Amino acid sequence: MKILKLLDQQFPFLDSVRNRWILIIFSLVFSIFFINVFVPWNINRWNNDSGIEEFIHLSGFGVIAALVLLISQFSIRKLVRLKHFRIWTFAVWVFCELFVMATLFSFYQASWDVNINRFFQDIPNSFKYTLLAILIPYSLIILFLSYVTQKSKLKQLAETKDLDDKAGLINFMDEKGNVRFSILGDQILYLESADNYVVIYYKSDERLAKQMLRNSMKNIESFLTNSNFKRCHRSFMVNLQKIEFIEFEKSTCRIKLFGLENFIPVSRKFFPEFRSFTIR
């Protein structure tokens, strides 16, 4: 189940047009450089070219790879209306891209005149070489985009906290870093995780209201560090200013919040830290 949840997570690094162009251009430049400088698998001996003709021929592999990525990331994604990847759809998508590249490389190497029987014999090796060559720039650029995205999110989180400290507002962002709604901090009672969502419970006109946010409790906890909110359970965070009383037991406790009938549990994992934080 954990593996299925992991595979079903969002993969946002190729959502923007800018990031897709970065992938395509970097793959083109890297492939042309790599194949001409390092000449993997003695690929320069597969044909009788030399000099500028050899450079043009070898560079053709990089151009083909870039064209496949261009068509895949723009035309085909638009055709199938795929705006956002999940990890599993991204993996399948990359596999299909690599297979198409391997097929075109086989035809290109044979000057577009391929015998079907020979093609099926060559395609496994062609796919292997494509996998080894193209995954290098693909992996590098995904790591780079992941770093840039996370850095941007952290910066946005810091700016958001600084901007709204005076107003007492807390801006809640989804897993992509987009602000979905803002709530006064002193109106919030507690937060509860529910699958891939976090539910924020707050007071509105003396009644209990809630808002759902697509994000993880871990991300929200990180965002609310050094605030009045404290994680007390795998599924709960509470506003320390809204605690009416705490009922302690041997190695755990439960919390009663103002205006709330049900108790909020404190798990054994969070009990020591929570106890030291509340009892002074």
- Taking only the tens place, the pLDDT of each residue in 51-101 is 788 888 888 888 999 999 999 999 999 999 998 899 999 999 999 998 898
Structural domain span for residue 144:
2-156
Using one digit for the tens of pLDDT, what is the confidence trace for 89-101?
A: 999 999 999 889 8
Q: Are residues 79 and 119 in the same domain?
A: yes
CA 8 vs CA 121, 140, 142, 178: distances in Å: 35, 22, 18, 20
| Closest by Cα among 240, 250, 245 to 271 | 250
What pLDDT score does 199 carry?
Answer: 94
Q: Are residues 38 and 85 in the same domain?
A: yes
- Of 156, 186, 208, the position where a domain reaches its end is 156
Quick check: 31 pLDDT over 50?
Answer: yes
What pLDDT score does 228 carry?
Answer: 85
Q: State how beta strands 229-233 and 236-239 pair.
A: antiparallel
Asked whether residue 41 is domain-assigned, the answer is yes
What pLDDT score does 38 carry?
Answer: 72
What pLDDT score does 167 carry?
Answer: 47
> Mean pLDDT for the chain?
83
Q: Are residues 48 and 82 in the same domain?
A: yes
Q: Are residues 118 and 23 in the same domain?
A: yes
| Closest by Cα among 58, 64, 135 to 101 | 64
Alpha helix (H) ranges present in 198-270?
Answer: 217-223
Token pair of 160, please?
């958001």
The angle that helices 116-164 and 87-109 make with each other, rounded to 10 degrees, is 140
- Of 107, 126, 156, the position where a domain reaches its end is 156
C-beta separation of 164 from 171 below 8 A: yes
Q: Are residues 121 and 193 in the same domain?
A: no
Quick check: 161 pLDDT over 60?
Answer: no
